Amino acid sequence: MIEADIHEIDIVKAEKTKIHDVDFDNINFGRIFTDHMFLCDFIDGKWQQPQIMPYQAMSIDPSARVFHYGQAVFEGMKAYKDNNGEVFLFRPEDNHSRINKSSARMAIPEFPKEYFMNGLLTLLNLDKEWVKPGVGNSLYIRPFAIATDSAIAAAPSSNYRFMIICSPAKAYYTGKVRVLIAEKYSRSADGGVGFAKAAGNYGAQFYPTSLAQAKGFQQIIWTDANSHEYLEEAGTMNIFFRINDKLITAPTSDRILDGITRKSVIQLAEDNNIDMEVRRIKVEEIKEAARNGSLKEIFGTGTAAVISPVSAFEHAGTTYEIPDLDDSYAAMFKKQLLNIQHNLSEDKHGWRYPVK
Ligand SMILES: *Cc1c(COP(=O)(O)O)cnc(C)c1O
């Protein structure tokens, strides 16, 4: 961790809010941003004065290393408003520690926790009107860091910019998804950057995902790069399988992202006395379970969609349908998580973080 003096944030407020131009009932995810953004530059080995300013385009030299070498990391988190107008984050300190793990892997300097939390809370206080109450509504928060050196030598940058921008959101995916199990392409490999929210991980998924979409699937279930025999993640979500009443998810590793929703679901499974196994799971095991009727559910977990149920998967040219369930774990976990996030139920693990 690079030490930094704690500065007050330099704040320039927007002259006028854009909020009245937004149709909150018809939000196109990730295209509308709030009135303000947070920015902090790393120059001469040190994080500089943090700033909040009106959301705006910025000028960066074409030679900036982020454009050439993808030296960039990000986070995804949400703020929620309860019926009394109080705003909450969900486990935000975990997002801070994770972006620093991602940064370390990408040779980006770690961002001090005080700066992160203070920047986040100050920004949310300024833009709190943008967080709408009601389950399903949220403000999506995107912290990120980029290499800004004006130099195209293939070496780590000495200057960086850390930013936070916010975008109002409704529920992300709607309905169930059909998924294709990867047999050729891989998302991550041993010793690689799969555990990091490194920008290039996502860009590299677009092409194989578009091939899957052309075949009628919304997402790819990624398998291990060595053998393609083990199930790892679903698109940009962690993945859970329910066989009879037992829940199974893969262990985190340098290939699998340590999702905050994933670890919350593992905890909720324990709270609900559900048999939970964290272990590697073979494609063959779920195909067999689908054939003999013991495969009850597959669902993805992630901040954007919370829980995303899967209705069918394809592997080696065969499609396996997963029949609807009345008492699904996916629906139960989604409800329990949303209730905690929106301050509608007890928060016995201290996951809610009030924005004061
Ligand atoms: C962000 C992400 C997840 C989900 O993480 P959450 O903390 O639950 O939002 C899962 N897998 C990948 C690859 C991700 O990028």
289: CATH: 3.20.10.10
For residues 171 and 73, which has the higher predicted lDDT (pLDDT)?
73
Please state whether beta strands 77-81 and 72-74 pair in parallel, antiparallel, or not at all (unpaired): unpaired
For residue 330, pLDDT over 60 is answered with: yes
Q: How far apart are the C-alpha atoms of 166 and 259, rounded to whole Å?
A: 20
pLDDT score recorded for residue 153: 87
For residue 2, pLDDT over 50 is answered with: no
Answer yes or no: is the C-beta of 187 below 6 A from any ligand 1 atom.
no
**Distance from residue 152's CA to the centre of ligand 1 (Å):** 31
Q: What share of the chain is helix, strand, coil (3-state, %, to 5)?
A: 25, 30, 45
Answer yes or no: is the C-beta of 76 below 6 A from any ligand 1 atom.
yes
**Do 182 and 159 sit in the same domain of this protein?**
no
Q: Which residue has the tokens 């408003």?
A: 81
3-state secondary structure of 222: strand
- In a 13 Å sphere around the CA of 279, the CA atoms on its Cβ side amount to 10
- Over residues 293-317, mean pLDDT: 96
**Is there a domain that residue 142 lies in?**
yes
Please state whether beta strands 10-11 and 51-54 pair in parallel, antiparallel, or not at all (unpaired): parallel
Lowest average pLDDT, out of 36-40, 72-76, 138-142, 173-177, goes to: 173-177
- Over residues 322-340, mean pLDDT: 96
Q: Output the average pLDDT for the chain.
A: 95
pLDDT band at 313 (very low <50, low <70, confident <90, very high): very high
Lowest average pLDDT, out of 166-180, 211-225, 286-300, goes to: 166-180
Answer yes or no: is the C-beta of 308 below 6 A from any ligand 1 atom.
no
pLDDT score recorded for residue 293: 97
**Distance from residue 78's CA to the centre of ligand 1 (Å):** 13
> H helices of the chain, where?
65-69, 92-105, 113-126, 199-214, 260-271, 283-292, 329-341
Q: For 47-66, how does the pLDDT look when each residue is reduced to its tens digit (9 = 90+)? A: 999 999 999 999 999 999 99
Q: How far apart are the C-alpha atoms of 237 and 221, rounded to whole Å?
A: 9
Host domain of residue 141: 6-170
Q: How far apart are the C-alpha atoms of 48 and 46, rounded to whole Å?
A: 6
Of all residues in the chain, the percent with pLDDT exceeding 70 is 97
Ligand 1 atom closest to residue 303's alpha carbon, by position in its atom list: 9
**Is there a domain that residue 39 lies in?**
yes
**Is there a domain that residue 236 lies in?**
yes
Answer yes or no: is the C-beta of 302 below 6 A from any ligand 1 atom.
yes
pLDDT band at 6 (very low <50, low <70, confident <90, very high): low
pLDDT score recorded for residue 157: 87
For residue 45, pLDDT over 80 is answered with: yes
Answer yes or no: is the C-beta of 303 below 6 A from any ligand 1 atom.
yes
pLDDT score recorded for residue 29: 87
Closest Cα to residue 332, out of 237, 220, 219, 247? 247
Residue where a domain stops, chosen among 134, 151, 170: 170
**Do 151 and 231 sit in the same domain of this protein?**
no
**Distance from residue 247's CA to the centre of ligand 1 (Å):** 19
- Over residues 264-275, mean pLDDT: 98
**Distance from residue 286's CA to the centre of ligand 1 (Å):** 22
pTM for the full model? Answer: 0.96
pLDDT score recorded for residue 7: 61
**Do 23 and 80 sit in the same domain of this protein?**
yes
Lowest average pLDDT, out of 168-177, 194-203, 241-250, goes to: 168-177
**Is there a domain that residue 348 lies in?**
no
Residue where a domain stops, chosen among 104, 139, 170: 170
Say what angle helices 260-271 and 92-105 make with each other, to 10 degrees.
140
**Do 65 and 122 sit in the same domain of this protein?**
yes
Ligand 1 atom closest to residue 301's alpha carbon, by position in its atom list: 8
179 contacts 313 by C-beta, under 8 angstroms? yes
Q: How far apart are the C-alpha atoms of 264 and 116, rounded to whole Å?
A: 22
pLDDT band at 28 (very low <50, low <70, confident <90, very high): confident
**Is there a domain that residue 350 lies in?**
no
**Do 141 and 35 sit in the same domain of this protein?**
yes
- Over residues 103-109, mean pLDDT: 98
Residue nearest to atom 5 of ligand 1 (CA): 259
pLDDT band at 350 (very low <50, low <70, confident <90, very high): very high
pLDDT score recorded for residue 3: 46
Closest Cα to residue 277, out of 237, 250, 310, 244? 250
Residue where a domain stops, chosen among 143, 170, 197: 170
**Do 232 and 156 sit in the same domain of this protein?**
no
**Do 334 and 194 sit in the same domain of this protein?**
yes
pLDDT score recorded for residue 100: 98
CATH assignment of the domain containing 118:
3.30.470.10
Long-range CB contact pairs, 3-9, < 8 A, 24+: 3/112, 4/46, 4/47, 4/112, 4/114, 4/115, 6/114, 6/115, 6/118, 7/49, 7/50, 9/38, 9/49, 9/50, 9/51, 9/52, 9/118, 9/119, 9/122
For residue 1, pLDDT over 90 is answered with: no
**Distance from residue 231's CA to the centre of ligand 1 (Å):** 15
**Distance from residue 16's CA to the centre of ligand 1 (Å):** 35
Amino acid at 136: G
User: CB under 8 Å to 175, separation ≥6 — which residues?
Assistant: none
**Do 181 and 160 sit in the same domain of this protein?**
no
Total domain count, the chain: 2
Among 27-31, 132-136, 227-231, name the most confident range: 227-231
Exposed / middle / buried, residue 292 (Cβ in 10 Å: 0-12, 13-18, 19+): exposed
